[in-house]
Chain A
Amino acid sequence: MHFSPLALIAELTHRCPLHCVYCSNPMQMAAVADELATEEWISVFRQAGKLGMLHAHFTGGEPLARADLTELIAAARAAGLYTNLITSGLGLNEERLHRLVEAGLDHIQISFQDSREDSANWIAGAKAHTHKIELSRAIRKQKIAFTVNLVVHRQNLDHLEEMINFIEQLEPERMEIAHTQYYGWALANRAALMPTRTQLERAVAIIAEAEKRLAGRIRIDSVVPDYYAKYPKACMGGWGRRLMLVNPSGKVLPCHAAEVLPGLPFENVRQKSLEWIWQESMSFRKFRGEEWMPEPCRTCERRGEDFGGCRCQAFLLTGDDKATDPACSLAPAHHLVEAAVLQENSDPAIVRPQPASSFVQLRKKTEELWSYRTNPE
């Protein structure tokens, strides 16, 4: 079977001014000294364009931490790619935004931690909220697509309606309502982040209502979190079927979390071409197609829809990277997810945001609740 990659995820750096407690970056971060140089990234974008990829997603860490971002966006655009900047907005003012748009930026995506400033800054471990609002106004003056990504979890879901109304005021074309997924920091902080069933059911109804109300103005994309779903998510649209992620030091991964998997040698764009890595590398071929599948996936009629779920989640929860994703109700290890859901529903308490005068103090005050994302060396 032949697959063509559709999108490149360019993780430009793992440096970030925010410390979000659900960050999807690996806990083992790429060191600053190992980051790809400008010319190396430019070569990656050209190769991606030649491979027929359509989208380049600039992410991090915080991609704005790269001083050469304007140049990289211009290069990706010149290579025929649709360019999307996924950012906290910290490090962006109106002038730099204008330069990025001039360079060919098509779409910008800003994440909000909450509608309430104290809570937003508490979750991000940084004073970022006010700046994001100001930046959103500047973005609306530019001719680019604007998405607001709202990350939801136990600590903020109780006022989802308020958050949706808040985002509506920012006038994006799209709103993504993203439940935290449990990898890296979010897995370590799962007990503080996982919503209760009651919260989730309420959220589903609120989102359905908002979709109706905002139809034609704001498109809402949201997914039921997999711990509460009957079947697992089709992670990355299937392993090695659609996406390539290049990390800050040039390692090429089939997904954000793949480095947690044992014994998989990941290739580097410094040694191999993207085309070779896509077609020939062991890391991209290992879970592509259906041969690796165990039962019940192997004979499941849904295997072409969800591909057995997420390999990283399977490994993180069961220790076996070939296991059926335990989020699936048919999985032999589904009891692991059921147990977590049961435990998180036994005590529906949420915590009030804690004011703190510094990040050090904030960490100290919240150490029993969660741990904040840290920065690479």
Chain B
Amino acid sequence: MAPPSDESRPRLATGTRWAAQSTGGSDESRMILFPEGAIKLQGTGRQVLERCDGQRTFGEILADLQKEFGKTDPEKIRADISTFLEQLQRKRIVDY
């Protein structure tokens, strides 16, 4: 158990997927579905997970979002996103 490293490529775990926009979504929110559950995502959570495509590295995702939230302390952004992904990894919703 460890937070994602900068070189890792976070992705939705096998069996986790985005719901069709017509299922429980709206313009602001989107839903991810996984065994026995679902999470509605909006705001930052959605922005993070939409970038977890298994292509981009965690470092790239971070740099991208730190630019987006320019006014917030970059280290705080790193800590928040890192914790968020680590929690989802424990639940086997995200892999990295």
Contacts and interface: CB of A to CB of B under 8 A. Distances in A.
A173 B24 contact: no
B62 to A, nearest CB: 20
A216 B31 contact: no
A288 interface: no
Q: Which of A52, A82, A145, A221 counts the most B-chain CB atoms under 10 A from its CB? A: A82
A84 B31 contact: no
Closest 9 CB pairs of A and B: A145-B15, A82-B33, A80-B23, A173-B92, A216-B1, A219-B92, A107-B35, A145-B35, A54-B38
Nearest to B21: A80
A233 to B, nearest CB: 16
Contacts, number: 62
Contacts of B31: 54
Please classify the interface of chain B as helix (H, G, I), strand (E, B), loop, or mixed, using the class held by over half of its residues.
loop
B19 A219 contact: no
Contacts of B16: 145
Contacts of B1: 215-216
A54 B19 CA distance: 9
A276 B1 CA distance: 47
A215 B17 CA distance: 21
A219 B16 CA distance: 14
B35 A143 contact: no
Interface string B10-23: 00011111011011
27 contacts: A6-B38, A49-B23, A52-B23, A52-B24, A54-B19, A54-B23, A54-B31, A54-B38, A55-B33, A80-B19, A80-B20, A80-B22, A82-B34, A82-B38, A106-B33, A109-B35, A143-B14, A145-B15, A145-B16, A145-B34, A146-B14, A173-B15, A216-B1, A216-B89, A219-B90, A219-B91, A219-B92
Interface residues of A, number: 23
Interface string A151-178: 0000000000000000000000110000
Contacts of A219: 90-92
Interface of B: 1, 13-17, 19-20, 22-24, 31, 33-36, 38, 89-92
B88 to A, nearest CB: 11
Contacts of A49: 23
Interface in A17-73: 49, 52, 54-55
A300 B7 CA distance: 52
Contacts of A144: 14-15
B44 to A, nearest CB: 23
Contacts of A173: 13-15, 35, 92
Most buried by B among A80, A106, A173: A173
B19 A146 contact: no
Interface string A239-263: 0000000000000000000000000
Nearest to B34: A145
A25 to B, nearest CB: 21
Contacts of A54: 19, 23-24, 31, 33, 38
B82 to A, nearest CB: 14
Nearest to B38: A54
